[in-house]
């Protein structure tokens, strides 16, 4: 009599299991298989979830670039233009807001390294009309402009109250005009020099750069930063390109495109345009000493007890108990957050074209959430390695 197929299979299975028992085997011992690895690091899942929520809340686009050692990850969601519906890409330009100040600070420190400027000299040494136009209540140094400790009134306050915003944002505003507007607000004496953000501080720094270099602020930043680093999409004072992500505000119920506002064309406190990847390249170059000398980088970081130095602020890096450096950038219609580890190896830059809302001089609350998400994402990456 022959062996039935069922009995034959049982004998083969028994032999196989006996052989396999020579090595650990979940199939023969009944142990559960190991859990599958996640499809992607938790950091990227967190960022994608945040991006999806921003789009649900009306954000036109979200762009993100992450670099962790030799690994890069990018994300683009939404549209470049609400009218055309054309998809956004990670290489699209965006307005970077206050991150412009880090670039201006680099140019100021390059002057200091060349012996053409001393940050502890008075501003009036470089701008003779500074005192007669702005009437400061006491001596003001270049250092105080860099750290926003001068007390100089913010020109955007009288600007916003000078007329309808739709008209105001389309009016070109030179650096001299920015400071003239600041002069319409009384400069009050303060008992202590503490951080007090004012766009006028960097208008004065921009004017110092123009006077010493003999070129426009946009040309100075191009020569000091964009050209040496090959940042072809980074500029100040140029018209928005066709590939810029359009940001929007609402005024009296009307949606306005703010991708190219004339009043920001020469705005050292927030007028530059770049991409998330080029912003990462800028901060990596800065922190690793490719743009200014190590002593200048240290000065920009500020003291250990300060969270803001010369246009750099810091966040906790729990991967090594040190810090990330960078800046938040907030402008009409746009928010950006850029963080880079001290050695330049771990970076994240995220740009959100905000859900359209009325303009305000205050930071958009979303910028704080962007900072929290970015910091959590970067810190979780070291646990993935």
Which pLDDT score is estimated for 33?
A: 60
Residue corresponding to tokens 């966040």:
315
- Asked whether residue 40 carries a pLDDT value surpassing 50, the answer given is yes
Tens of pLDDT, residue by residue over 44-67, are 999 999 999 999 999 999 999 999
In this structure, what token pair is assigned to residue 325? 């450096």
Looking at every residue in the chain, the average pLDDT score rounds to 89
- Say how many C-beta atoms besides its own lie within 10 A of residue 293's C-beta: 13
Query: Whole-angstrom Cα distance, residue 356 to residue 103?
Result: 28
Mean pLDDT of 103-107: 98
Which pLDDT score is estimated for 43?
A: 95
Q: Please provide the DSSP assignment of 305-350 as one string.
A: T-SBSSS-EEEEETTTTEEEEEEEEEETTEEEEEEEETTS-EEEEE
pLDDT band at 337 (very low <50, low <70, confident <90, very high): very high
The answer to whether the beta carbons of residues 146 and 310 sit under 8 Å apart is yes
- Asked whether residue 90 carries a pLDDT value surpassing 60, the answer given is yes
Which pLDDT score is estimated for 379?
A: 96
Mean pLDDT of 162-190: 91
Pairing of strands 94-95, 273-274: antiparallel
Tens of pLDDT, residue by residue over 339-364, are 999 999 999 999 999 999 998 888 89
- Say how many C-beta atoms besides its own lie within 10 A of residue 356's C-beta: 20
How much of the chain exceeds pLDDT 70, in percent?
88
Of 1-5, 30-34, 65-69, 299-303, give the lowest mean pLDDT range.
1-5
Q: Is-above-0.85 flag for pTM?
A: yes
């Amino acid at each position: 009599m022959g062996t039935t197929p069922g009995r034959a299979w049982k004998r083969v299975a028994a032999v196989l299991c006996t052989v396999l028992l020579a090595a650990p085997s979940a199939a023969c011992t009944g142990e559960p298989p190991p859990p599958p690895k996640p499809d992607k690091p938790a950091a990227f899942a967190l960022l994608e979830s945040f991006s999806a929520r921003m789009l649900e809340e009306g954000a036109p686009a979200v762009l993100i670039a992450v670099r962790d050692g030799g690994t890069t990850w990018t994300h683009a969601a939404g549209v470049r233009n609400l009218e055309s519906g054309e998809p956004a890409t990670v290489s699209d330009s965006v307005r970077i807001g206050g991150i412009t100040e880090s670039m201006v600070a680099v140019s100021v420190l390059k002057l200091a390294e060349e012996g053409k400027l001393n940050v502890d000299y008075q501003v009036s040494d470089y701008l003779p009309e500074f005192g007669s136009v702005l009437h400061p209540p006491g001596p003001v140094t270049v250092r105080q402009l860099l750290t926003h400790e001068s007390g100089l009134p913010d020109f955007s306050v009288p600007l916003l109250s000078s007329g309808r915003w739709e008209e105001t944002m389309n009016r070109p505003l030179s650096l001299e005009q920015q400071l003239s507007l600041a002069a319409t607000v009384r400069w009050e004496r303060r008992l202590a020099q503490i951080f007090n953000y004012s766009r006028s501080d960097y208008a004065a720094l921009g004017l110092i750069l123009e006077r010493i270099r003999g070129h426009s602020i946009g040309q100075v930043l191009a020569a000091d930063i964009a050209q040496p680093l090959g940042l072809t999409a980074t500029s100040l004072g140029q018209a928005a390109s066709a590939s810029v992500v359009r940001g929007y505000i609402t005024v009296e119920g009307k949606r306005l495109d703010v991708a190219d506002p004339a009043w920001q064309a020469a705005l050292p406190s927030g007028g530059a345009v770049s991409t998330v990847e080029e912003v990462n390249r800028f901060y990596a170059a800065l922190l690793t000493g490719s743009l200014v000398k190590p002593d200048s980088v240290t000065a920009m970081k500020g003291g250990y007890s300060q969270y803001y130095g010369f246009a750099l602020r810091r966040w906790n890096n729990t991967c090594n108990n040190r810090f990330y450096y960078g800046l938040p950038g907030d402008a009409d219609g746009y928010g950006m957050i850029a963080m880079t580890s001290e050695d330049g190896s771990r970076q994240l830059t995220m740009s959100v074209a905000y859900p359209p809302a009325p303009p305000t001089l205050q930071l958009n609350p979303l910028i704080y959430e962007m900072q929290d998400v970015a910091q959590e994402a970067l810190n979780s990456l070291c646990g993935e390695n």
